[in-house]
Amino acid sequence: MYILKYLDPKNDAAFKKIFGSEQNKDILMHFLNDVLGSFREVPIVEIDFLPTILQPENREQKTSLIDVLCKDTKGAKYIIEMQTASTKDFKKRAQHYASKVYGNQARMGRDYQDLKEVIFLAIVDCVIFPNKAHYKSDHIILDKKTYEHDLKDFFFTFIELPKFKKTTEELFSMEEKWCYFFKHAQETAEEDFERIVGKDSIIYKAYQALDQFNWTQGELTEYDAIQISEMNRRADSAALNEKIDEALERGLEQGLAKGLEQGLTKAKMEIAKNLLQKGIGIDVIAQCSELSKKQIEDLKKYTFNENSVVNF
């Protein structure tokens, strides 16, 4: 039986290991230059990683967690996000993250004239813009009449992997190689490896970072937990969609929303319970199940007590 050598770079643990760690900083710079080269006047030569938790201004606002956040030597900020699930609010979330990072500069005491640009780059394993044919789209703010680019501090790039169809024989640019890497790295066979990598040492390093032989047991456990969560999410989503169709056919519109909410909560509890039984840590389970740490701790207390009930 063939055993996969490379892990999936779309997995949250793998993505952050490759693009969000100091030891692989050169991979991130290479990737940003390859994908944003036509936009950047000067190549990025150095970056500093920044905290990925964006604190709310008050208790009523949400805490935002970014996959990767960094800045270059000129102070420009880069938000790099990996999105696997199709959500209606992702375009809104992209603008929220960018505006939040931009506004945080002012709260640090900077004058308005010193605020630096924010570049949002998303690799998405779903279709965000169904009316666009190309896999990559760049978005800037233009004057509606003259199309002049006067407001230059916000830039958004989306790479929609389902739209990328090229084979290994059709890969010519570094941007195309990166897209292939994100979409097909896990299934890359040895005979295709040299054709994909060529003479590029950074792409080679990215593949080496995905080689599960180079991962610790703890890292693999976190990776597997996230994979399980993603598979459960997809299965639950498919089951819920089927139930929605059945309910609509039977005319059961009333009470549907409440039933769906209960179903989602039950699914999250099952995910958390399964991971607890496997010995996965509470922090990882919270990330996978979207339950709070307090909820998971309560569930852990009563998981093996059949007479106990945990209310969520």
Q: What is the pLDDT of residue 242?
A: 61
What per-residue string of b and e applies to 80-117 under the rule 16 or more CB within 10 Å gives b?
bbbbbeeeeebeeebeebbebbbebbeeeeeeeeeeeb
Phi, psi of 136 (to 5 degrees): -120, 135
Do the bridges between strand 53-54 and strand 64-65 make them parallel or antiparallel, or are there none, so unpaired? antiparallel
Average pLDDT over residues 99-120: 87
Q: Each residue of 49-81: pLDDT tens digit?
A: 999 887 666 555 566 778 999 999 999 999 999
Above 60 in pLDDT, residue 261?
no
Q: Each residue of 235-244: pLDDT tens digit?
A: 665 555 565 5
Amino acid making up residue 104: N
- Contact, 276 vs 296, CB < 8 A? yes
Q: What is the pLDDT of residue 311?
A: 47
Q: Where are the domains of the chain?
A: 12-214, 217-302
What does the alpha-carbon distance between residue 32 and residue 25 come to, in Å, rounded to a whole number? 11
Average pLDDT over residues 179-187: 94
Amino acid making up residue 269: M
Identify the DSSP state of 185.
G
Above 60 in pLDDT, residue 117?
yes
Above 80 in pLDDT, residue 44?
yes
Full DSSP string of 87-131: -TTHHHHHHHHHHHHHHHHHHTT--GGGPPPEEEEEEESS-S-TT
Q: What is the pLDDT of residue 249?
A: 59
Q: What is the pLDDT of residue 185?
A: 92
Identify the DSSP state of 170.
G
Identify the DSSP state of 77.
E
What does the alpha-carbon distance between residue 25 and residue 78 come to, in Å, rounded to a whole number? 13
Average pLDDT of the chain? Answer: 83
Q: What is the pTM of this model?
A: 0.73
Residue of 312, 310, 291, 311 whose CA lies nearest to 301: 310
pLDDT band, residue 11 (cuts 50/70/90): very high
* 192 burial type by CB count under 10 A (0-12 exposed, 13-18 middle, 19+ buried): middle
Q: What is the pLDDT of residue 309?
A: 43
Above 50 in pLDDT, residue 226?
yes
